Structures are given as C-alpha cells and as structure tokens.
Amino acid sequence: MVQDREWPPLSPVETGIRGRCPRCGEGHLFEGFLKLRKGCEVCGLDYSFADPADGPAFFVICFACVPSVVLALWIEVRFEAPYWVHLFTTLPFMLLTCIPPLRPLKGWLVASQYFYKAEEGRMVTPLIPPASAVVTGSTATLPADDRL
C-alpha cells in the first residue's frame, strides 16, 4: 500500500519552490495559483496539516515591496515624474516583484511545516516544580505553611 511505504526526507526548499508534495516530491501541492489541494494524488498525503497563513505575504512585503517603494521614490525625486509615469513604471515593477514569489514561498512554508513536523502550539505544564516546593530526597513536597 502507498501509505505504508517509507519516504526519504526531501528538502523543503526544493519541493516547496517546485510546488510538489513534501513527502514524495512527485504530486502537486497546488490546485490553482495559491489554493492548496486536499491531498497528494501520488502518495495520498493529506495537506490539512498545512497552514502557512500570512507567511508568504509577510515575506513578500518585507523583501519585494521595499525595492518597489525605493524605485518609486527614486523616480519621484530624480525626475519629478507625473503620476502616469509611476503607473507605467512602478506599478508593473511592483506587480512583477510581489505576485510571482507568493506561490514558491507558500510551497516552501507548507513543505517546511511537513519536514519539521510543525503543529499548533499547546500549553504544557512545566516539568520544574514551583519555587515554593521543598525538595526532600527524590520527591518534592510543599511546606506546611503554604499560603499562595
């Protein structure tokens, strides 16, 4: 059966950027431009674990929008260009630097979640006893006059 097979660890960068399944590297990760499939058509991996949220947009804003703003400011300061010049220079530059990286970044984040077995955060009880505990031997006991 396909589900019982051992799968070698694949690079999240390589599989994510190519938009391939993070487990087998063969199936498709996306149904549309940014919409994830329900699962892999080759190995049957369920993609419901994946939640990249706003991660791709954050990276694009940080790294791709900054050059667009710098270009717009440079054109404005250097040439005192009218708005129509910005419409035909800065807007296409912004679209070309912001939209294409979204899919590879989303694929990389999904593949990284699978590779590193990322899960939703949970509250856990600490393994260290509270500071008010008195250690005697191998057991921790609270003092008799414990007023919290």
For the cut 90, the answer to whether the pLDDT of residue 1 exceeds it is no
pLDDT confidence of residue 55: 93
Give the model confidence (pLDDT) of 71-87 as tens digits. Answer: 999 999 999 999 999 99
For the cut 70, the answer to whether the pLDDT of residue 135 exceeds it is no
- 53-62 CB burial, b ≥16 within 10 A, e <16: eebbeebbee
Cα 68 versus chain centre, distance: 23
Structure tokens that stand for 76 in this block: 């404005």
What are the residue ranges spanned by the domains of the chain?
Answer: 1-51+108-118
Cα 135 versus chain centre, distance: 43
Phi, then psi, of 36 in degrees rounded to 5:
-75, 145
Band of residue 127 on the pLDDT scale cut at 50, 70, 90: confident
pLDDT confidence of residue 5: 80
Mean pLDDT of the chain: 87
pLDDT confidence of residue 120: 78
Identify which has the larger pLDDT, 133 or 85: 85
For the cut 70, the answer to whether the pLDDT of residue 140 exceeds it is no
Residue 111: Cβ within 10 Å count: 28
First to last CA, the chain: 57
Q: Name the CA dihedral angle for 102, 105, 106, 111, rounded to a multiple of 10 degrees.
A: 160
DSSP H or E run through 106: helix 102-115
Distance separating alpha carbons of residues 46 and 114, to the nearest angstrom: 11
Give the model confidence (pLDDT) of 7-57 as tens digits. Answer: 889 999 999 999 999 999 999 999 999 999 999 999 999 999 999 999 999
Identity at 146, one-letter amino acid code:
D
Distance separating alpha carbons of residues 122 and 57, to the nearest angstrom: 25
